[in-house]
A and B are shown apart, each in its own frame.
Chain A
Amino acid sequence: MSKKQITTTVNGVQQEILVDSTWTLLETLRDQLRLTGTKEGCSNGNCGACTVLIDGKSSCSCLVLAPEVDGLEVTTVEGLADHGHLSPVQDAFVDNAGLQCGFCTPGFMIATTALLNENPHPTEGEIRLKLAGNLCRCTGYDKIVRSVQDAAERLSRV
């Protein structure tokens, strides 16, 4: 086991962090940077609760070692709002009740942000396929799909 000094931009802020070589990015975000919006669910890449953006690409932070993100940009759910104003994706989830207990929601909002960056007008089928890596045990998914469709519309008006 060894310590590594890494420099990573998290939600637009450059962070110098001393990490253990065995820490995951998820542990580092939650326990070192106290960014507890990112959740630990299954810990093996099935549930998507820990989804973050790494250089803009959605990734399961439970399957990334902290030193892997040295020099890269990480975006968590805390980085979606702009100076206290929720992003259009976040507003759409709130207005469409795309959540119940909320545990999966940060992952869904990050995955939705990545999806709409790449494909601003996804079909319902594309939304369901691209969000298949995020599990929700409360909503039955329909309200989440509606939230994503509404987010796409909101973003197209921006």
Chain B
Amino acid sequence: MPNFDYEAPTSLAEALELMARPGEVRPLAGGTDIIDQLKSNRRNADLVVDMKRIPELLELSMNGSGLRIGSAVSCTDVYNFIEEHGGYPALSESAALVGSIHIQNRASIGGNVCNAAPSADTIPPLLVHEAVAHTVSASGGEREIPLIDFFAGPGQTVLQKGEILKELVLPAPPANTASAYLRFIPRNEMDIAVAGVGSLIEVDPSSKVVTKARISLASVAPTPVRAYEAENSLEGSVIDADAIDRAADLTVGAAVPITDVRGSAEYRKELVKVLTKRTLNICLERLG
């Protein structure tokens, strides 16, 4: 392990002062990515700032206007909260896929976002639920960044020196909306997505016309992406097998995958089609 100092501030102001210090300062929430990266020299740090004792970053609440997830809230807590309160099924099912139970007990959704892995399971669900990243910085600046604009490349975000993710805010899903997330891995559990797809549709119950569609893909581009053409093809159409097939074919246009040890580019393009079909069909089932 490289040498670094560790601080566990108990207020946001104190944390921001620490984040603004010179050198490489890393925030730590669950630590399940950053500690491994520090051990294996994939990231470095002069100072690690533990965010788990700051009340604002541990907030998890839902009201009429939506869901607020403090950036240090664990996957397990988010999963249990959504199971109890409902509303964001794609997000709860993705939170239950991040590593093992032991990892989910510590890993935060905010950390999954800031780690910015193209394969991160919770990001497509956050994108289809139109999450907004609320950030704060030592200078007193605050930003509200639509999550789709948060990623700059593999492992890279638009956060500036001294700026941290405070919370993710998801609007309340309209009535007659369903979402789903699926990933493909060659095992039953505990693996990194070869490809992942999150889908959300809002459907007029009488006409079956799609009034809103959101489709997001993981592990097929340098950052998580939205499949805008596929979304546009669904919106305004009656949702049926043909419409789903058409949308699934169009998702391939948003996928620019690489060939690596997990799968070839061609295979990943095929996977996003299949996973899009399956997630849209799950959404239909959920709409009843």
* A contact set with B: CB distance below 8 Å: 1-2, 4, 21-24, 43-46, 48, 51, 54, 57-60, 62-65, 67-68, 70, 111, 114-115, 128-130, 132-134
5 closest Cβ contacts across the A-B interface?
Answer: A133-B100, A21-B6, A1-B3, A132-B189, A57-B105
Which of B6, B36, B99, B189 is in CB contact (< 8 Å) with A4?
A: B6
In the bound complex, residues from chain A placing their C-beta under 8 Å from that of B35 are: 24, 62-65
In the complex, residue of chain A having the shortest beta-carbon distance to the beta carbon of B37: A44
In the complex, residue of chain B having the shortest beta-carbon distance to the beta carbon of A61: B102
B4 adjacent to chain A (CB < 8 Å): yes
- Grouping DSSP codes into helix (H, G, I), strand (E, B) and loop, the A interface class, with mixed when no group exceeds half, is mixed
> By the criterion CB–CB under 8 Å, are A59 and B105 in contact?
yes
**A/B pair count, beta carbons within 8 Å:** 93
> By the criterion CB–CB under 8 Å, are A130 and B50 in contact?
no
Given A48-B102, A57-B105, A59-B105, CB of A133 within 8 Å of CB of B31: no
> By the criterion CB–CB under 8 Å, are B101 and A67 in contact?
no
Given A129-B189, A133-B99, CB of A21 within 8 Å of CB of B4: yes
Given contacts A21-B48, A65-B28, 16 further A-B contacts (CB under 8 A): A2-B6, A21-B6, A22-B1, A22-B3, A43-B39, A44-B39, A45-B32, A54-B105, A59-B105, A63-B31, A64-B31, A65-B48, A68-B8, A111-B101, A111-B102, A114-B101
> By the criterion CB–CB under 8 Å, are B101 and A58 in contact?
yes
Which of B1, B2, B106, B190 is in CB contact (< 8 Å) with A132?
A: B190
Compute how far the CA of A129 lies from the CA of B190 in the bound complex, rounded to whole angstroms. Answer: 9
- From residue 178 to 222 of chain B, which have CB atoms closer than 8 A to chain A? 188-190
In the bound complex, residues from chain A placing their C-beta under 8 Å from that of B188 are: 128-129, 132
In the complex, residue of chain B having the shortest beta-carbon distance to the beta carbon of A70: B8
Compute how far the CA of A23 lies from the CA of B2 in the bound complex, rounded to whole angstroms. Answer: 10
In the bound complex, residues from chain B placing their C-beta under 8 Å from that of A63 are: 31-32, 35-36, 103, 106
B268 adjacent to chain A (CB < 8 Å): no
In the bound complex, residues from chain B placing their C-beta under 8 Å from that of A58 are: 101-102, 105
B94 adjacent to chain A (CB < 8 Å): no
* B contact set with A: CB distance below 8 Å: 1-6, 8, 28, 31-32, 35-36, 39-40, 48, 50, 52, 76, 99-103, 105-106, 188-190
12 A-B pairs with CB atoms under 8 Å apart are A21-B4, A22-B3, A22-B4, A22-B6, A57-B106, A60-B32, A60-B100, A63-B31, A63-B35, A67-B50, A68-B8, A68-B50
In the bound complex, residues from chain A placing their C-beta under 8 Å from that of B99 are: 45, 133
Compute how far the CA of A45 lies from the CA of B8 in the bound complex, rounded to whole angstroms. Answer: 23
> By the criterion CB–CB under 8 Å, are B5 and A60 in contact?
no
Which of A44, A59, A130 is in CB contact (< 8 Å) with B106?
A: A59
In the bound complex, residues from chain A placing their C-beta under 8 Å from that of B2 are: 22
> By the criterion CB–CB under 8 Å, are A67 and B8 in contact?
yes
Which of A1, A43, A62, A114 is in CB contact (< 8 Å) with B5?
A: A1
Compute how far the CA of A21 lies from the CA of B40 in the bound complex, rounded to whole angstroms. Answer: 17
In the complex, residue of chain B having the shortest beta-carbon distance to the beta carbon of A128: B188
In the bound complex, residues from chain A placing their C-beta under 8 Å from that of B103 are: 45, 60, 63, 133
In the bound complex, residues from chain B placing their C-beta under 8 Å from that of A70 are: 8
In the complex, residue of chain B having the shortest beta-carbon distance to the beta carbon of A62: B35
In the complex, residue of chain A having the shortest beta-carbon distance to the beta carbon of B76: A57
Compute how far the CA of A121 lies from the CA of B21 in the bound complex, rounded to whole angstroms. Answer: 50
A40 to chain B, nearest CB (A): 12
Compute how far the CA of A58 lies from the CA of B3 in the bound complex, rounded to whole angstroms. Answer: 27
In the bound complex, residues from chain A placing their C-beta under 8 Å from that of B5 are: 1-2, 21
Compute how far the CA of A53 lies from the CA of B172 in the bound complex, rounded to whole angstroms. Answer: 35
Given A22-B2, A57-B76, CB of A133 within 8 Å of CB of B101: yes
Which of A60, A65, A129, A133 is in CB contact (< 8 Å) with B6?
A: A65
A154 to chain B, nearest CB (A): 22
B42 to chain A, nearest CB (A): 11
